Each structure stands twice: as C-alpha cells, then as structure tokens.
Structure 1
Amino acid sequence: MPSRKKASLFASAFVSCVCSFGMVCVVLATQQWMSSQLRFSNSTVSLTYGLFSGTCEQFVDPGLQVSEKAFQVAGNLGSTKAKSTITAIIVILVLSLLSSLLSSGFTCTNAVSNPYQTFLGPIGVYTWNSLCGIFTLLAMILFPVNVEGHELSVELARGCFPFLQTHVESAHTYGYSYWLMLLILLLNIISAFIIYIYDHARYSKKKEQERPIQNAPKDVILF
C-alpha cells in the first residue's frame, strides 16, 4: 500500500486533473467564445458564437434591429481555411480531453498503489499533463488566428445575411469559453507540480539512503 503522503499528493493531483477534464468539456460545450460587432456599409451585425453554433443580429442605422437568428458555424463558413481551422481546433480540444482523462486515470492509479518504475508512474502523469497543456495552448493560438487572419466573424456574418455590402470595421471580445482554457493550463501545471513534489522528495530520500561509505563515521569504517 502507498504511504499516506504519496496517496494524499496523488489524490490532490487527481482532483486537479478531473477539474481540467471538466473544464475542457465546458469549453467544448459552451458557445461563448467570441462576441463581434461588425460594421458594414449598409448595416451593423452583432455575433456571439462558439465552435459549433451562435446567434447573429442585424441592425440598420440608426439602431433599428432587422432580424436575429441562430446559426451553425460549419454551415455558415464558405472559406476553406476558416472551416479547416475550426475543425482543427475541435480535434485538438478532443485530444486535450482524452489526455486529461488519461492523466486522471494515472494519478488515481498511483494514489491507491505502490510507485511504478515504468510509464505508469510520475513519467506518465507528466506526459499526459504536458500533452493536455500543449493541445490547449494550440487551441488558444489557433482561434485568434482564425478570427483575425481568416476573418472568421466576417465569414459568419455573411453566412447569416448574404446581402451585406463592404466590410468597414470590426470589434471583437473573447468570451468566457475561450478564457477558461487559461484555467485548464493552470490546472495542468498544478497537477504536474504536485507530482514533482512527490518525485523530488522520493529522489532525495533515495539519495540519502545511498550516501557513499566515506561519509559514514570513522569507527563504522574500522569495523
């Protein structure tokens, strides 16, 4: 059976990994990634959307609302680059979800068992936590690239209202669904740090037990 200290440390890391898993689920499920105000030469469009769906409203100056409707992100995109990037973000977040799930399983296993000297031990936890963090960071980078570089909001607005004229300017606000990915990164760092504390303590204890004989008392060496 594992020591009480080891069990408590890995149990803490397990809680952190489970929270990370839950946050990835929330990020995928909620549609508050972006709010955009787009000004066109003939009207203004307001968008709120996520990876799968959103809502759009059109206003004709001065402030008269013409229509409001829901839309599917994939269905509104005509640009191959924008659609491919959204698909890549979804796939990356699914991989992040699987990584956090595996990390949770590894930490749970180590909390109730003796230390492994294989990939099932701290090395495995480090690996899956790192992968989850890397995938999440990639998603955080790719989404702004899609919004700014591929004009994602403009594409979605034109999909909602085909008769929009020249695009004049845009204002974007990232929603809580996007910023929750920072919390996922923090939770992965916390999990890895907790395991590092255990691993470092175990290494230090092992080194103490392997002290060279010259550090032993002289009367012990004589015998």
Structure 2
Amino acid sequence: MPSLLKILHFVCSALATAVSVVVLGYGMSTWWAQTTIQCARSESDFFNGTAVITFNLFKGLMERSLCPSFGNTESFEVIPKLRETGTTNLVLYALVVSLLALCLLFSAVSILISLYNAVSNPYETYMGPIGVYTCSSLCVCLSVVALIIYVVNINVTSMAEDLVRSFAQDIPIELRDKTSVMGVGFYLIIPYAVLSVGAIALIYSYEHAAYTHRREQQRPTEDAPKEIMMY
C-alpha cells in the first residue's frame, strides 16, 4: 500500500490533469480568433466594405458588409470549407486539431497512470512516475506547437482572404488591412499547459522527497560518534 504522501501527490497530479482536460475541452468549444479584412470591388474603389470572420475550432461565422454585396451573415464548417480553398491552410488547421486531440489523449493516460500509482506501488517503468513525466511533457509540447501553428495560419497565410473570396460567389474583390484578434479558446491553451507542468511538478516533488528519505536510510551511521563506529 502506498504511503499517504505518495497518495496525496499522485491524486493531486491526477486532479490537476483532470482540470486541465476540462479547460482544454472548453477552449476547444469556444471561439479562437476573429479576423477583420477591408474589402472593395477593385483597387480603384474605396475600401468601404468589411468582412469579419469569427473562428471556433470547428465552426466559423462570416459577416460581410459591402464585400461585395450588402450585409450577409453565414455560418460554415471550418475544415470542409478550407478543403475548398487550398491544401496548405487545410493541412495546418487539421494539424492543430490533431495536436489538441493528442493532448486530450495523453492527458487521459496521465490521469490513469497517476491514479494507478496512488493505489499501488509499481516499479520504475512507464507505469510509474516516468509515465506521468512523458505524457504530461508531451501535452505541454504539443499544445505549444498547436498555438504556434494556429497563429501562423491566422496571421501569416492567406486562409482568411481565401475564405472571404470563397463566399464572394466568383465576384472579383480586392482585400487589404487584415487584422486578427485571438480569442478565449486560444488563450485557454496556456493554463492547460501550466496545469500539465503542475502535474509534473507534483510528481517530481514526491520523487525528490522519497529519494532524500532513501538516502538518509542508507547512511544511518554518518552522523554517529566515531567511538560507536569503531565497534
């Protein structure tokens, strides 16, 4: 039976990871970014039209004003719509979704390993602290990579412009002055990563305390008087 200290550390690690899963799940369900683009029929016209795209991870909302016609609001499925606009945008977006799905998977495995260690004393294998370190570290790394790729896809690639043109019904339009604001879902990945680091820190603190205790038990005579050690 594990010690009370081990139970507390591993249960708290599992709890921190569970909270991170809730945070990530909510983040994946809410809006991630909003992009605004100025629009005109041609370069010689005034850019008095606008297109505003609000991105959830799986769904989007396109609001157009004079771009090219009068006000229109249309919802769309992001990945199927990106399949119509270009391969690069689709690949990057699908990669972000895949990385976040892997984060959920590794978080679930980390929870199971932590709970298993809280009720048993496994050997130092992938089912011990090493498993928690590996899974939680992968969660942190994958979530950070997903954030970077998402920012690049929103701000650097022509994903937003291609989406606006796909809704223009083959009417030639000119686009400029793209501005993007990242949303709640995007920023919730940060506390998810922090909680995953916290899960690692909890297990490391237990391992450090257990290692220190073992060292003290292995050298019980170092602090004994020399007279006693002579016998």
TM-score of the superposed pair, with normalisation by structure 1: 0.91
Q: Which of residues 98, 111, 133 in structure 1 aligns to 2:140?
A: 133
Tell me by how many angstroms 1:75 deviates: 2.8
After superposition, residues 127-166 of structure 1 pair within 5 angstroms as 127-162=134-169, 163=171, 165-166=173-174
Hey, what's the Cα distance between the residues in 1 that align with 2:192 and 2:15? 13
After superposition, residues 206-217 of structure 1 pair within 5 angstroms as 206-211=214-219, 213=221, 215-217=223-225
The residue that corresponds to 2:92 in the other structure is 85
Tell me by how many angstroms 1:120 deviates: 1.3
Q: Which of residues 198, 203, 209 in structure 1 aligns to 2:206?
A: 198
Hey, what's the Cα distance between the residues in 2 that align with 1:142 and 1:148? 10
Hey, what's the Cα distance between the residues in 1 that align with 2:57 and 2:172? 23
The residue that corresponds to 2:46 in the other structure is none
After superposition, residues 3-82 of structure 1 pair within 5 angstroms as 3-30=3-30, 32-42=31-41, 43-60=49-66, 66-77=71-82, 78-82=85-89
8 Å contact kept, 1:57–1:65: no
Q: Give aligned pairs, total.
A: 220
The residue that corresponds to 2:130 in the other structure is 123
Tell me by how many angstroms 1:213 deviates: 4.9
What is the alpha-carbon root mean square deviation over aligned residues? 1.9
Long gaps (5+) in structure 1? none
8 Å contact kept, 2:50–2:65: yes
Hey, what's the Cα distance between the residues in 2 that align with 1:115 and 1:199? 14
- Amino acid across the alignment from 2:154: V
8 Å contact kept, 2:109–2:135: yes
- % of aligned pairs identical? 29
Helix, strand or coil at the partner of 2:89: helix
1:171 maps onto 2:176 in alignment: no
Hey, what's the Cα distance between the residues in 2 that align with 1:183 and 1:157? 32
Tell me by how many angstroms 1:116 deviates: 3.0
Hey, what's the Cα distance between the residues in 1 that align with 2:90 and 2:124? 44
Summarize deviations over 1:86-115 as a string: whole Å, max 9, x none.
Answer: 111111111111110001111111112225
8 Å contact kept, 1:2–1:115: no
Helix, strand or coil at the partner of 2:71: strand
Q: Which of residues 106, 115, 125 in structure 2 aligns to 1:108?
A: 115
